[in-house]
Structures are given as structure tokens and as C-alpha cells.
Structure 1
Amino acid sequence: MRSEWSEVQISEVCELIVDCVNKTAPKVDEVTPFKMIRTTNVRHGRVDTSDCKYVTEEVFEKWTRRAKVLPKDVLLTREAPIGEVGMIRQNENLFLGQRIMQYRADRTKLIPEFLLYSFQSNYMQHQIRMHEGSGSVVSHIRVPDCLKFNIKLPPLPEQKAIAHILGTLDDKIELNRQMNETLEEMAQALFKSWFVDFDPVIDKALAAGHDIPEPLQQKAEKRKSVPEEQKLIRTNPQFGDSHEPVEWPDSFTFTEELGWIPEGWEVTEIRELVSKVSKGTTPRKNEIIDLDEVIPFLKARDISDDGTISSELDMIPEEVHLSSLKRSILESGDLLITIAGTIGRIAQLPVSLNNSNCNQAIAFIRLKDKSQYNNLVLFTLKSDFTFRFISEKIVQAVQANISLETVNSILVCIPEYHILKHWNALSDPIMDRIRANKEENSVLSSLRDTILPKLISGELRVPEAAQIIADHV
């Protein structure tokens, strides 16, 4: 019953609330066991420690003199950006970088996971926005205000039940994310072996006793040390078998664009493979006044480094979508690349965002033959070679950017048809699984975002939430 819930100040139910040391710790270049958490590591309820800066043990001890960072501690960013929250999941040698608060729940009164989800609720996020610092260029929360947030507190058994419900969704989302990370690495490794390093062709050339071009000789030496049973792998038992032997070329030919490539392959620009390459624009304010905003509108910030598209998108009116922004109406399967601000993030538009739109910081690539070239072009866009190519073309203006001409001129190395067919036979099931996991995560994230504020406020009871999840999962 909501009548059993109390509303208390957060300092009353935490045994520890600590601010960071308000100066930057001296970092070292080498990897050490001691990691500094920055605000960029705290996102969406989690603390990512895979991309931390490192310090010496001496610095670590000095910067943790107020308190150690322990598993189940909840971290809150109070500036740049404000209001991001995450929980420490593992026991590591971590310490707080600047602009981060550390909360340790008093477990006789408050479940740490319930504290985490409370911080993510509308109720507490509203308080965070109300406590933004004034008179500063950068919005921030003052440290004393971080002790004054109010939290709605049900009895401990109900806290545990709510945390379990939301945690089940989060765990499934994280499992899908980790699975996709593994699948992506598998596909990337296969692409690099076949279309960047040309491993099967080098193997065939070595077996035939043919000369290896000088730029490829270092790779050839490495291939000589690979056991024979690992060479020319034609199948992937987890994702099926094309049941067709692959006849690889055993020699190379020189091209002006990419240097040495396998005999019989060709180099082309993306423009030759597409029906359309374009970008969006931002609607004028007077175009959207008093109109219902119903069409998802993508911006560069909505595409993450791993190609995930945010579930929290801005919307624009359909009238604007079909008129002044009609050139950038997106179709499912379009390949997206960020071309302004943070340049070079790659994504593929899911079915759920068909008929959406984008701003001028995103270019979209619409292939003429998606079934044939989608995976080849997608991984070409993600390759180090393409990243170096577009980096050289960046125009430093008010906002760094690359042109549509640069996108059109990205080079693609196209193999013979039977090799491309085999690549698709192996990569299609991987990409289908990745897309399915992303679509499921989109549904789960939307469901979580719907029930979280209702559970935390007491509007939705645990049995009702459990039934909603059972109906959707």
C-alpha cells in the first residue's frame, strides 16, 4: 500500500555520501590495477570500467582517503552531464574522478538497487534538475544539495521486489548487449581476415609457391605460423554452412586506389552501389509550432559508438517530415554515418524506425542491392581503413564535419561473386541475430522506462508489473 511508504531525505537512509576530491588526479600511460572513474563512465544505470584512466597506487590511496568505492555503491554525476547514475557491480580498485558523488545505502533501511532505480525515476530526476547550479556556464548540482534529495521509501520487502522486477529487465538487456558485442567481434574478425588481410588468398599463394607482393610479406610470414587446420576455414558451425567449397585466388593484382588486392577482385566507390546518399536538416522553429510531433528524429548524439540507436528520440511533426524534410525520410536498412560533431559512428536503421527522419549531422546510405552488399559495405564503413580515410577529409569549421562527397567516395573492395555469396552465408545469420537482439532490447528498454517511474512512485504494484513483463517477454 502506498500509505506504507514514507518520504525521507536521502542522507537519512545512506551510511555514506561522499564527494570526489576536487582536483584532477595525475594519470599514467601504462595500465595499472588502479582506475579513475570519470563522468563519461557513468551511463544508463551502469558504470563502465573498461575505458578508465589509470593512476599509481600512491595516487589511488591519496584519492580514496575519504572512502573506498565498493560494490553496490551508487554514483551520481553532478556536472557534465548532470543526473547520470550507475552502480558499481564488481570489486575493483576504483576511485572517483571530478564531479561525481558516491552513495552507500544503509541496508537496514534502503536496498542499493532500489536507490539506483529511484535516482532514475522522474521523481528524483525532477529534483536533480531543480538543484542545477545557477549563474554558471555549465549546469551543475552543488555538493550540499546532493545530500538533500527526497526519496520515497516503501518497506524493505517491497523495495527488494521492485528492484528484482527492474533488475530482471536490465539483466536481459545487458545479456543481449554482451551477446551482440561477441557476435560483432566474430563478424569483424572474419571481415578483416578475408577483406583486409586477405588471409585465405595469402594461404593459397603460399601453397602454390607464388611470389607475395612486398607490402603483404609481413602478413605472409604470420600466416606461415598458423596451423593448417585453421587455414581457409569455410564454415562457422554456430551459424551454419554454405556447403559449397570456396575457390580462392592464389595471386594479387595492383590497384591505384587500394594497392595490392586479390586477382579478380575490384575496387569501387560507394556511389556505384547506392540508390541514394543524402543527409537531413533541422526544421525551423516556426515550422513546428502547434503541430503534433509524431515522427522520430535522429541526431548524431542518438548513435552510440557500438551502433546502438537511442530509444529516447526527439520527434517532429509529420507535416514537416513530408515537406521540408522529405529528402531525408529514412527507410529500414539504411546505413547511417555521423558526419558532424562526433564523426564516423555507424548504425543501421531498424525496422522499428522505418519512415523516421534525421538532422544534418547524419548521412544515410541506401544500397541498390541490400541483400548482396549490405554486410560488406557495413563492415567496410566500420573498418580502420575507412576511419583513416574520412579523418583525412574532416573540415574544421564551427563544427567539424565531412561532406556527402566524402561519403560517396569511400572505397569498397568487392570480391568475386562466389566469395561474396559465401561471406553473406556466414555473416547474414550473425547480423540477423544482432538485429533481433537490438529490437528486443528496444522493446525491453521501452517497457522498463514505462514501468520504472510507476513502480518507484507506488502507482504500479509489483504483481501488476510482473504480469506486464510476462505479457511482453
Structure 2
Amino acid sequence: MWADLGDTYDGPHATPQRVTSGPYFLNISSLNDGRLDLAQSDHVSSEEFAKWTRRVTPQADDLLFSYETRLGEAALMPDGVKACLGRRMALLRPNRDIVHPRFMLYYYLSPAFQRKIKQNTIYGATVNRISLSTIGKWPVSLPSQKDQRAIAEVLGALDDQIEANTNISRIANQLAGHLFDQAASSVPRIPMSEVLKPVLGGTPVRANIDFWNGADLWASAKDITGAPFAVVVDTEEKITQQAIEQTKAKPLPAGSVVMTARGTVGAVARLAVPSSFNQSCYGFAPVAIPPGLLYFSVLRAAQHAKSLAHGSVFDTITMRTFDHLQIPNFGDSGAATEAQITPLLDLVSANILENKLLAKTRDALLPQLMSGRLRVKEAESLVETVM
């Protein structure tokens, strides 16, 4: 049973006052694809931290998981992080004599256990939840400690490479932005509308089944805001070539930049592959400005516009907006800056594509290893082909 795996604790049933620095206050938004994303976590003061850790202080290798709203999310607590549990968060402190912590994470994320979560979900009027008072009675079937370690090592190798790629991409992206800002600081600025031609996206008629579930990418605002490192490599929905030919959903080439104009306004992403997009977005093709300079020019213009709002309503972007948003006019000096930032942005795109393949491999191996249908040695050979 779950109770045999270790001790389960939940977080406070309230929210403390947040501050800009200090110990982390973990929340369910911090759980992302089996990892703890501290960038999505808030902070609390030392005094608040002492108050919110009276029940439990998260420690390395605790299994963090959500028991309300975003059910099924989990991550391991990293070493050296000072944090307290947030609302709707719980943790399992694994008994290492019974379960390997990293195996426990993969076991939790496996399709079989995810089905168990769904079977035990309590559907409420406001939020869905699982009961921490009954989770201890859930049946759990584990392989030997030796097999647990072996499975954790195979799947962990893929996740470690994803993490390494992510860290490299973060550094490369920051360096590219720094190089752009440094070059842009010494050149004049001009309205975006003088150099760029915004393209408004379109949505094919959903009632026409010939337009949907094709092979061509079609980005919604959600795809733009959720793109890793603001790079679109795939979209949740796809359209057909017929939709492209007969509707306003025309694709822009790789290297183009897309900005959300409604909803979450001012989110910017670049296209690593050709893609169409909906009418909540404007696109900019790399015609007058090369891809790297185009991306950072549009990104910085959007960031500047949002900073000027100062909390006031900034809820839409129209064609007229681009008369007022300014970008650097690099002229002949732009080629040198583009040559500096292009390899860095290409590295980010390549890492994101590789991470997609690694995650797909991990997700395919996970249920096979957990069920015993695939031997660890066989899985190791498959992993070697993608790393």
C-alpha cells in the first residue's frame, strides 16, 4: 500500500504573504513535466517560513505532488533548496528500504498510477481532488530494489540530458539577449510599422473536418505563451494543406516571430519550423530584418510596452499599436550582431527539438519498464540511440 512507501504530509491550507526573495513557497505551478520549476515559485520571509514548516520541511528526494486541481503532477525535491509546501501540495518522504526515490517519481508519473489517480478523483464544484486520508490504502506493486535502481538510471539518463540541454539553452538565450541589447543601445530607434509588416493570423472553420487534424502546424496563443524558451517547435492542433490554401491561416517560415494580441497580450515566440497561427496573434516574417534581430526587436518592444502600462489595461494590440512600438534601426551594423546571436539561438532551437525526442523516448519507455514488458538492458540500448 501507499502507506508502506513512507510518510505523507500536506501543506498549509492557506496562503502566506509573498515577498520578492527568501525561502521558496512551492505551489502546483512549480510542478512541470516531472520537475520542480522554481521560476514558478513564490518566496516567503524567514518568519513565514518557520510558520509554514511546523508540520514538515521539504527535504531532498521527497516526492512532491498535487492533490487538488492539477492532479497527477509530481517532482522530486532537489538538494540544497530551502522551501515550504504551498496550498494543494503534499509530499511523500520515501522509505528508502522499500522504494528508490527517483523510481517513485517515475512510478507516480506512469500511466498505470495516473489511471489510479483518475479512478480515485473526487470531482467537486470548484476543484477536483484526491483524498490524502485514503491515499495510504491505495495498492502499490513495486519491483525489487535492484530493478528500481536500474529503471531509475535508464529513465534518469534521459531526464538528466533534458536538464543539461535546458540549462545550456537558458545560458545561450540570455547571452544572445545580452549581445542584442548591447548592440541596440548605440543605434537609433524607429517605429515597427516603418520596417515590419504585421500579418494577422486566422482560424479555419472548425465545422469543416477537411481543415483540421492535418500535418501542418497551427499555433494558438496558448502555444505561443507555453513555448519552451519562446521557441515554437510543435503545436497542440494541426491543420491541413486545404485549410492553408482556402483560409487566412497562412504559414510563416521558420525564423518568423509571433506576438499575441489578445488575452495574454504581448507574449512573443519565434518559429523554429513553419507554422500558421490564429487571429489572436500577429506574425512578422524575417524579410527586412534577419531572424535573430527580428526576434529580440519584437520581444523588447513588447516588454517595453508592458512596462509602460504600469498596471493599467493593456488588453489588446491592433495595427495602430505598431506605429508606437519602436525597435532598433541597426542598418549595416546589424549583420555583425546577427552573426553573433544566430548560433546561440540555433543552439536553443536544436536543444528544444532534442529534448522533445528525449521526452518522447522516456514517455514511451516508462510504461514498458514499469510493467516489465521491456527489460532494462533492452531499454539501455534504445536510450543509446537517441543520446
Query: Structure 2 length as normaliser, TM-score?
Result: 0.87
Residues 204, 249 of structure 2: 8 Å contact kept = no
CA deviations over 1:200-239 (Å, ceiling 9, x no partner): xxxxxxxxxxxxxxxxxxxxxxxxxxxxxxxxxxxxxxxx
In the TM superposition, residue 177 of structure 1 has moved relative to its aligned partner by: 1.0
| Paired residue total | 385
2:272 pairs with 1:358: no
Partner amino acid, structure 2, of 1:444: L
| Structure 2 partner of 1:108 | 97
Deviation at 1:125, TM superposition (A): 1.8
Q: CA deviation at 1:307?
A: 3.0
Aligned amino acid, residue 31 of structure 1:
S
Residues 106, 433 of structure 1: CA spacing in aligned structure 2 closer, same or farther, 3 A cutoff? Answer: same
- Sort the Cα spacing of 1:408 and 1:82 in 2 relative to 1 into closer, same or farther, 3 A: farther
Change (3 A) 1:447 1:306: closer
Contact 2:231 2:349 in 1 (8 A): no
User: What is the match of residue 267 of structure 1?
Assistant: 190
| AA of the residue aligned to 1:172 | Q
Q: Deviations over 1:278-316 (max 9, x none)?
A: 2232642x3339975544443333333753457784334
Structure 2 counterpart of 1:367, from 286, 295, 318: 286
Match in the other structure for 1:299: 220
- Distance of aligned partners of 1:287 and 1:453 in 2 relative to their CA distance in 1, 3 Å threshold: farther
Distance 1:391 1:50, change over 3 A: closer
User: Which residue of structure 2 aligns with residue 337 of structure 1?
Assistant: 259
Residue 316 to residue 141, structure 1, CA distance change in 2 (3 Å)? same
Deviation at 1:167, TM superposition (A): 0.9
Q: Determine if the alignment matches structure 1 residue 467 to structure 2 residue 384.
A: no
> Secondary structure of 1:16's match?
strand
Aligned equivalent of 2:166, options 153, 160, 177? 177
The separation in 2 between residues aligned to 1:82 and 1:336, in whole angstroms, is 31
What is residue 403 of structure 1 aligned with on the other side?
A: 318
1:161–1:360 Cα change, 3 Å: farther
The answer on 1:453 being equivalent to 2:373 is: no
Aligned residue for 1:153, secondary structure, equals coil
Matches within 5 A, 1:153-172: 153-172=142-161
SS of residue matched to 1:103: strand
Q: CA deviation at 1:148?
A: 4.4
> Is the partner of 2:9 in helix, strand or coil?
strand
State the 1:407 CA deviation. 5.2
Matched, 1:16 2:16: no
Deviation at 1:59, TM superposition (A): 2.8
Question: Secondary structure of the equivalent of 1:144?
Answer: coil
Measured in 1, the distance between the counterparts of 2:151 and 2:85 equals 28
Q: Where do 1:213-232 residues align within 5 Å?
A: none
Q: Aligned to 2:338, which of 424, 439, 464?
A: 424
Give the residue type in structure 1 aligned to 2:2: I
The change in CA–CA distance for 1:380 and 1:151 in structure 2 (over 3 A counts) is farther
Rounded to whole Å, the distance in 2 between the matches of 1:359 and 1:157 is 50
Check whether the contact 1:295–1:321 (CA below 8 A) recurs between aligned residues: no
> What amino acid maps onto 2:303 in structure 1?
F
- For residues 321-374 of structure 1, give each alpha carbon's deviation from its aligned partner in whole angstroms, at most 9, with x where no partner exists: 3466552434322212223332222222223xx3x44334433222325xx522
1:102, CA displacement in angstroms? Answer: 0.5
Residues 387-446 of structure 1, C-alpha deviations (whole Å, 9 max, x = no match): 23257689969xx443355357642221231x1121122122222222222222222122
* Conserved? CA contact 1:377–1:412, under 8 Å: no
Q: Is residue 381 from structure 1 mapped to residue 298 from structure 2 by the alignment? A: yes
Contact 1:350 1:439 in 2 (8 A): no
Q: Which moved more, 1:297-306 or 1:17-26?
A: 297-306
Q: Which residue of 1 aligns with 2:240?
A: 318
- Contact 2:244–2:250 at 8 Å: present in 1 too? no
Read off the aligned partner of 2:251 and give its amino acid letter. Answer: I
Structure-2 change in CA distance of 1:347 and 1:149 (3 Å) = farther
How far apart are 1:277 and its partner, in Å? 1.2
Distance 1:374 1:317 in 2: 25
Per the alignment, in what secondary structure is the counterpart of residue 367 of structure 1? coil
Residue of structure 2 in register with 1:220 after alignment? none
2:264 alignment partner, SS class = coil
Contact 1:76 1:100 in 2 (8 A): yes
**Displacement of 1:195:** 0.6
Output the CA distance in 2 between the equivalents of 1:88 and 1:156: 21
- Cα distance in structure 1, aligned partners of 2:204 and 2:79: 42
Residues 72 and 104 in structure 1, CA contact (< 8 A), matched pair in contact too: yes
Q: Quote how far apart the aligned CAs of 1:18 are.
A: 0.8
Q: Which of 288, 301, 306 in structure 1 is aligned with 2:209? A: 288
Among 435, 438, 442, which residue is 2:349 paired with? Answer: 435
Q: 1:331 to 1:310 in 2, by over 3 A?
A: closer
Contact 2:257 2:284 survives alignment (8 Å): yes
CA distance in 1, matches of 2:85, 2:189: 52
Q: Could you tell me how far 1:71 is from its partner in structure 2?
A: 0.3
Query: What amino acid maps onto 2:48 in structure 1?
Result: V
State the TM-score, normalizing by the size of structure 1.
Answer: 0.73
Structure exhibiting the larger radius of gyration computed from Cα positions: 1
